[in-house]
Amino acid sequence: MNSHGQNEQQVVWAVVGTGIGPLLLAATRDGLVNVVFHATDAVRDRALDRLASRLGTEPVEAPASPLLAEAIRQVEAYFSGGRRGFELPLDWSLISGFNRQVLRELASGVPYGTVVGYGDLADRVGQPGAAQAVGVAMGSNPLPVVVPCHRVVESDGGIGGFGGGLETKRKLLALEGVLPEPLF
């Protein structure tokens, strides 16, 4: 508790090396709150500043924290091919409304090794014709990889966009057997 008798929000973070580069993982008492691609020092620092601003507390590096240990273990297992899904508590506080609804459906309804179209995902949440809005939701996903926005593709077979970059999306889809492994 702080000096005013209120529970302070705790945010812990760690950077994990993966087959797609370093990922920043951040967690609160409620669960994993943020995953950030390409977590070089500069990217990491900007992400931590944003988290501090949004959550009202300074994130603390704590890779051994019980709040992060299981997330790190599951992310490492996923990238080594030993895990096909994540069983982690998630803190959805960085996203709300339609975007949260779409991301929750994606997390629960699009399993490893499958893809879904933007329009199909819009239909699943009762918003036919909202494919572009689904694209916006994918772009605002605070929990990529764990909430698998890489599994959302264009209806014409195109790969679609991706906040982590198209090469990262291709690598994730190859890891899951949706695309062939890149030759180089």
At residue 184, the pLDDT reads 55
Q: Please, what are the averages of pLDDT over each run of 10 residues along the chain (184 residues)? A: 54 96 97 97 97 96 94 97 95 96 97 96 95 95 97 90 92 93 64
Q: Using alpha carbons, list the distances in angstroms from residue 52 to 155, 182, 183.
A: 38, 37, 40
Output helix, strand, coil percentages for the chain, rounded to the nearest 5: 40, 15, 45
Residue 7 CA to residue 24 CA, distance in Å, equals 25
At residue 9, the pLDDT reads 74
Tokens standing for residue 4:
């005013």
Residue 147 CA to residue 85 CA, distance in Å, equals 9
At residue 83, the pLDDT reads 95
105 an active-site residue? no
- Annotated catalytic residue: which of 149, 152, 172, 175? 149
